[in-house]
Structure 1
Amino acid sequence: MSQSGATRIVVVGGSAAGPKAAAKARRMDQHAQITIIQRSPDLSMASCGYPYYVGGFFDDRNQLLCTPTGVVRDPKFFLNAKGIDALTETEVVAIDRAGKVLKCRDLKEGREFEVGYDKLVLATGANPIMPPVPGIELDGVTTLQSMRDADFLRKIRDEREIERAVVVGGGLIGVETCEALELAGIQMTVVEMLPQILMFLDWELAKLVENHMREKGSHIVTENPVAAFLGENGKLTGVKLRNGTELPCQLAVVATGVRPNSKLAAEAGLEVGKTGGIVVDEYMQTSDADIYAAGDCIEVPQLLTGQKVHAPFGDLANIEGRVVGINITTGNHAKFPGTYQTGVCKVFDYTAGSTGLSESAAQRAGFETITALTAAPDKPG
């Protein structure tokens, strides 16, 4: 407890789940001393909107950071509107569970300091998976995982100097990034190592999306992964595929998925599951009763199979954050049962979505499947 007797709640991570947990905790406990510690300069980033910002659907980057009324969620906002301290550009380097202390580093000044807690929330997100191929370090190879990435790709879009780009990975982010840059006049190629793009869809539906992307000018390559990034003088000049094909390009966006950022938790001795995510129960409580976790850093039950999965979706992160905010202030009352894994994305003129298991995923899980395919308008009338 603090000297005033207020509960000290510290949240590590300031994207989706973390700020949601902090805000809910404040609504449940007006006296708690709440602190958010965030490694990046920004808070409450709407990361699902990154491809749309890159694509020019809106121009003001603050729309990725602001409330519905247009107020940017920066440390001043959190302090004045919610009574929450927010430390940005600050890294938590270790957790002393016995002493209930976080060891922190100010990334601007290099200063190290400690922050005590009574209840700790880990919302450390996920890290992009980078393929272990030569040339990955070349200038021109990037991801779309952070505001910094979004700013970089938006600058490329606005400058309109790059003619060809490759997206490595045909999942949600890869497909949306392809559309964003294609609409900017860049000749796009999506390279997917698996037999189809958007693996959460049945293959028939994925093929419809693929054909639509081709109609819009994008090239799609499947079952032919990247073998190397090619460059001259440290700059990207092309991508080499496994079959030897070389694709000239000046930009490559790696969108091959993410893995839970559970390093801090693991080093503190918290239980980490087979997916790499922090193990939590239905109350979002970790193997330490005073530490909770939410968002892309955890694993959760898949409600159809009962298996633990990594489900890095913004809607789930916000729900999990609310559950944490309730439980760290009032005891374990709220529950998060798991996910059916619903995903949706915009692909040019199409909207592609899925909930539950695809046919192939259901078969792998041991279910007998019956399928039906219908063709009908997606709007009433």
Structure 2
Amino acid sequence: MKRNTDVLIIGGGPAGIVCALTARWNYPEKKILLMRDVEQGVIPCGIPYMISSLEKPEQNAASYSSLEKQGVDLVVERAVRIDRKTKTVHTESGNDYLYEKLVLALGSTPILPPVSGIEKKGVYPIKKDLGYLTKMVEDIKKCRKILVLGGGFIGVEFADELSRIKGLEVVVVEMLPHLLANSFDPEFSKLVEEKLRSQGVRILTNTRVEEILGDEKVQKARLSNGDEMDIDRVILGIGAKPNTKLATDAGLELGRGKGIWVDEYMRTTDPDIFAIGDCAGKREFFTRKDAPILLASIATAEARVAGANLYQLKVLRENKGTIGIFSTYVGGLVLGSAGMTENTAKREGFDVISGKAEVVDKHPSKLPGAQKVLIKLVFSKESQALLGGQVAGGMSCGELINTIGIAIQKRFTITELETFQMATHPYLTPPPTMYPLVLAAQNAAKSR
């Protein structure tokens, strides 16, 4: 079967969905078709919460109803080859789809560490497929001791959720000195470690898994310190890598970070093919180095740029690089990170100054639900520009880190943050006399 469309989007994750909707709003006369390779996708960031927080795994299912309402055609097909000369995508089932503009929203694939025995039954990489994840959750709830391999965001959030299952022993193994070490300085990582340990999670840092032992099923793990640990399930939480095979087979170039090379408007080396989301290359905001920042929030921002600019440049991209802005929730503790940590900035050659503040997020502090907020801001000593920030505390930190993110993007200086104008309310914010962004900037100013 041959089918013609104006815009063909391959990928049914957040990037693909947002790109399709943006394209519909900007080009209402065009035929738009979205192709996904799983019957039912999921909300990626919600995957850990399928373990305990959600009553049923299907409550984390992705919704495609907004696409149908906007007249976007949907098909479940696996694309296997792109013929750029004829502008045709060939699928596994033998169907052909002809396009004017093609958008690759191929997502990412789980990183499989070079560990002997990783293929054994009971080892679970994280896949964005509802059927697969539903079976994984059902199986995990039958086990007694589970090893979470990796102490990044995936590993930490899974450990938090798994710790709520009565009778389940949870162990996190991380090769770096601290959990979340790529996104937080040690004083913030330690807060996460303390929280998880208080929930009964065992944490082994500076440690690697050398081998997974057992006949066909997982039975033990051999660690880099020589110890062997009895386990019966493994979660692979060491991250993901760009899914680029379809693109490279079509002759599209990759960047140094192994994502598909794109320009500022998400165009690949073929002007009629765009790439967005996890499969597309990223360049770090300050250094312009390739950066593996795989986030749904970044993916949807890229999707809006691509969807608007498919046929003409309508949206000019002011943000010339990717800022990693992360947030997580662990046992009631909210943490956020934006831009560079102090350690990262120093490794990149910046002479930095930092400022800290600790306040209560309501005023007066005795109001119900008031929680402490810890904030750290990192500045370039020479230019005084904000390079990064980290926060920890209650729910208000979820948006506080976004404020820090836009301040980085707009290159705010210490002085601009010292004179920051804000709205305050007793139930909603710290007092205007103790606003955390201002206090941290003032603290940094002492080192100028």
Give me the TM-score of the superposition, normalised by structure 2. Answer: 0.76
* Matches of 1:284 and 1:78, distance apart in 2: 22
Q: Residue 121 of structure 2: which of 126, 139, 143 is its match? A: 139
Match of 2:46 in 1: 49
Deviation for aligned residue 1:329: 4.0
Structure 2 contact 5–97 (Cα < 8 Å) conserved: no
User: What are the within-5 Å matches in structure 2 for residues 102-181 of structure 1?
Assistant: 102-105=89-92, 111-146=93-128, 147-156=130-139, 160-181=141-162
Structure 2 contact 146–171 (Cα < 8 Å) conserved: yes
* Matches of 1:362 and 1:194, distance apart in 2: 18
* Matches of 1:167 and 1:208, distance apart in 2: 19
User: What are the within-5 Å matches in structure 2 for residues 158-237 of structure 1?
Assistant: 160-185=141-166, 186-199=168-181, 200-232=183-215, 234-237=216-219
Q: Residues 326-358 of structure 1, C-alpha deviation per residue, up to 9 Å, x if partnerless?
A: 011443534253222111111112112111111
Q: Residues 214-246 of structure 1, C-alpha deviation per residue, up to 9 Å, x if partnerless?
A: 1110010111101011113x1111211111111
Q: Residue 58 of structure 1: which of 46, 54, 57 is its match? A: 54
Please give the secondary structure, in 2, of the residue aligned with 1:328.
Answer: coil
AA of the residue aligned to 1:182:
S
Q: 1:63 to 1:323 in 2, by over 3 A?
A: farther
Match of 2:262 in 1: 280
* Matches of 2:58 and 2:334, distance apart in 1: 26
Q: Which has the higher contact order (CA 8 A, sep 6+)?
A: 1
Q: 1:329 to 1:166 in 2, by over 3 A?
A: same
Give yes or no for the alignment of 1:320 onto 2:302: yes
* Matches of 2:328 and 2:132, distance apart in 1: 20
Match of 1:369 in 2: 352
Match of 1:345 in 2: 328
* Matches of 2:221 and 2:207, distance apart in 1: 12
Percent identity over paired residues:
33
* Matches of 2:20 and 2:302, distance apart in 1: 12
Q: 1:40 to 1:296 in 2, by over 3 A?
A: same
AA of the residue aligned to 1:151:
T
* Matches of 1:61 and 1:139, distance apart in 2: 21
Deviation for aligned residue 1:374: 3.6
Structure 1 contact 341–355 (Cα < 8 Å) conserved: yes
* Matches of 1:238 and 1:61, distance apart in 2: 28
CA RMSD of aligned residues (A): 2.0
Q: Residues 255-311 of structure 1, C-alpha deviation per residue, up to 9 Å, x if partnerless?
A: 111111111111111110111101111111111100111000011221122222121
AA of the residue aligned to 2:270:
D
Structure 1 contact 25–329 (Cα < 8 Å) conserved: no
Point out 4+ residue stretches in structure 1 off by more than 4 angstroms. Answer: none
Deviation for aligned residue 1:373: 4.0
Q: Residue 81 of structure 2: which of 94, 99, 120 is its match? A: 94
Please give the secondary structure, in 2, of the residue aligned with 1:190.
Answer: strand
Deviation for aligned residue 1:325: 0.9
Count, aligned residues = 359
* Matches of 2:356 and 2:231, distance apart in 1: 38
AA of the residue aligned to 2:49:
Y
Deviation for aligned residue 1:175: 0.3
Pick which of 291-300 and 30-39 moved more.
Answer: 30-39
Give me the TM-score of the superposition, normalised by structure 1. Answer: 0.89
Structure 2 contact 5–33 (Cα < 8 Å) conserved: no
AA of the residue aligned to 2:54:
F
The gaps in structure 1 that reach 5 residues or longer are: 67-71, 106-110
